[in-house]
Amino acid sequence: MKMNTSHEREKAFRTLALCAVLFAPTAGMAGDAQDRAADISRGAQTWVNNCARCHNPRDPKEFRDDLWKPITYHMRVRAGLTGQQTRDVLKFLQESN
Amino acid sequence: MQQQMRQLQQQIQNQKQTADEVDTLEEKVAEVEGRQDEWLSDSIVHLAGYGEFNYADREDADGSFGDFLFAPIFHYQYKDLMMLESELEITVNDAGETETALEYLTLDLFLNDYMTLVGGRFLSPIGQFRQNLHPSWINKLPTAPPGFGHDGAAPISETGLQLRGGVPLGRGMFANYAVYVGNGPEILAEAHGEAGETDFEFELDGIEAEGMNADEDGEKVFGGRLGLLPFPGLEIGISGATGKATVTELEHVDIESGFLGGTEEDAEAALSGEPDRDYDVFGVDFAWQWRGLDLRGEYVKSEIGSEAGSVAADGAEWESWYTQAAYKFTPTKLEGVLRYTDFDAPHASSEQEQWMLGLNYLFASNVIAKLAYEFNDGQSGAVTDEDAFRAQLAYGF
């Protein structure tokens, strides 16, 4: 489909945005049950697979348990992690420091 | 008999002392546990950020220390529901004055495991460099790739609403997404008054895509990015934005002696009633890590459409791409980096082709010393054509 006008492009983006809003939670729940308990081994794997996508991995011993929480939630937003991945990584970091 | 009685009394006394000591110890343990619980409140305050210190020696200038940057990042979190994030950038300019800028300020509402609603001034989700790689302890070279810094091809930030998150796709695959609506950028123009002429000549100069606090044209910009992670270590992203933008400001006014068309104020007055015009951005990016190798690249193009009713009728586009390879020479703490960038802009003085070679020493994962050399090819005589040696010490905390 060739988009001739800016109006059509805006319409396409709005449609995409709407699809993302509707699709994201449904697709996620289909692949993974929500609110599973945090798991340290899953967290270690997620930490290995994701942190180095952008930066050198940080040592779990660098921060106290309570400080890791806002850090992992910050990274949830930055890296596009799911809530479950965030809880798993937090568990791993808190158990490893 | 009396001696046995004394021994028994002594044992009883010792046991009583031991019991008292245990009671005291238990009280102390409870007290310490209570103190630990004090850290586990519903609200958490955390200070993160980074700082950097630079030395630059350009081909046609004396080397100098400078470009200090202190970038504190504040996190205020309430339960698993809400987080306020804000990054400041505090620098010292050439005159020695301190300048402060608000890089971003967002309220992040965690709606569910897969969606976070972000409101405020946020880093642009177009591509990866601005939203994920720009902090100096993460960026493997002392500078941003040409076109990915301020006044480049890639948007810096946006003010509006954003929905973002991650989704598991099964079989180890993941996707992440971001969609947003925002005020959009404003367009900068320049005016030239030529000797003997009666009218200014205007042309587009740049896009100010830095989280504008107002929407001058009343037309919103819609955009987003979709990232796919088919297997651990590889991410491929596609991003774009579309909307309207308006010429709101003159970056330069150049009036030759003998120009008959008026003053600088007249040039600025000509901008009143400027129409909105098309604004489009497209980007693709990838990142791949394998053992000690980090390979990544990014392409972005920002385009302003033509508009007959504007003082600067012709459209313009800014385009840049880079690819970067970094390799950690384990078990040493050394890391080699090579980056190539090609930035095309409407003005020849801004265009630049750059090779950058760097060697880093990682004192720790977040404390990095960088040495780098830029081989630049730009307009002859322009700063973009000068090669440069750079050194930087960066610390992320």
Q: Does residue A2 surpass a pLDDT of 70?
A: no
CB contact under 8 A, B178 and A80: yes
Q: Which residues of B touch A77 (CB under 8 A)?
A: 83, 85, 108, 116, 118, 164
Quick one: pLDDT at residue B12?
77
DSSP state of B264: H
Say which residue, A13 or A47, is predicted with more confidence.
A47
- A54 and A25 within one domain: no
Q: Do B77 and A73 touch (CB under 8 A)?
A: yes
Average pLDDT over all residues of chain A: 81
Specify the pLDDT at position A5: 59
Question: Do A38 and A27 belong to one domain?
Answer: no
Rounded to an integer, what distance in angstroms lies between the CA atom of residue B344 and that of residue B349? 10
Residues A51 and A62 in one domain: yes
| A38 and A21 both lie in a single domain | no
Which residues of chain A does B396 touch, with a Cβ-Cβ cutoff of 8 Å?
A: 55
Q: Is A16 on the interface with B (CB under 8 A)?
A: yes
| CA A57 – CA A18 distance, rounded (Å) | 35
Closest by CA to B245, choosing from B263, B265, B223, is B223
CB-CB neighbors (< 8 A) of B114 in chain A: 24-25, 27-29, 82-83
Query: What number is the average pLDDT over the span B213-222?
Result: 89
Residue B9 banded pLDDT, cuts 50, 70, 90 = confident
Which residue shows structure tokens 């699809």?
Answer: A19
Q: Is A33 on the interface with B (CB under 8 A)?
A: no
In whole angstroms, give the CA distance from residue B199 to residue B313: 14
Q: Tell me if A10 and B235 make a contact (CB, 8 A cut-off).
A: no
> Which of B129, B73, B123, B168 has the alpha carbon at shortest distance from A70?
B73
Q: What is the pLDDT of residue A33?
A: 46
Q: Please tell me the distance from the alpha carbon of residue B240 to that of residue B246, in angstroms, as a whole number.
A: 19
Q: Please check whether residues A14 and A3 belong to one and the same domain.
A: yes
Provide the phi-psi class of B120: left if phi over 0, else alpha when psi is between -120 and 50, else beta: left
CB B151 within 8 A of CB B206: yes
pLDDT of residue B35: 64
d(CA A15, CA A35): 29
Distance CA B4, CA B25 (A): 31
Question: Is residue B137 less than 8 Å (CB to CB) from chain A?
Answer: yes
A42 and A23 within one domain: no
Do A41 and A71 belong to one domain? yes
Task: Determine whether the interchain pair B83/A70 forms a contact, defined as Cβ–Cβ distance below 8 Å.
Answer: yes
Q: Is B114 on the interface with A (CB under 8 A)?
A: yes
Contact B137 A76 (CB under 8 A): no
- Cα nearest neighbour of B86 on chain A: A74
Per CATH, the architecture of B43-396 is what?
Beta Barrel (2.40)
Cβ contact B365–A52 (<8 Å): no
Q: Tell me how close the Cα of B307 comes to any Cα of chain A, in angstroms.
A: 13
User: What share of chain B in percent tops pLDDT 70?
Assistant: 98
Question: How confident is residue A13, by pLDDT bands cut at 50, 70 and 90?
Answer: low
Domain co-membership, A80 together with A91: yes
Domain that holds residue A6: 1-31
Task: Let me know whether A26 and A40 are in one domain.
Answer: no
Q: Which of A3-12, B262-271, B323-332 has the highest mean pLDDT?
A: B323-332
Span B127-144, mean pLDDT? 97
Q: Which amino acid is at B357?
A: L
Question: In chain A, how many domains are there?
Answer: 2
- Judged against a pLDDT cut of 70, whether residue B41 lies above it is answered with yes
Same-domain pairing of A42 and A78: yes
Please state which of the ranges A45-59, B10-24, B45-59, B165-179 shows the lowest mean pLDDT.
B10-24
For chain B, the distance separating the N- and C-terminal CA atoms, rounded to the nearest angstrom, is 72
Confidence check on the interface: ipTM exceeds 0.85, yes or no: yes
Highest mean pLDDT: which range of A26-35, B32-41, B259-268, B337-346: B337-346
Please tell me which of the candidates B235, B242, B289 has its beta carbon nearest to residue A6: B242
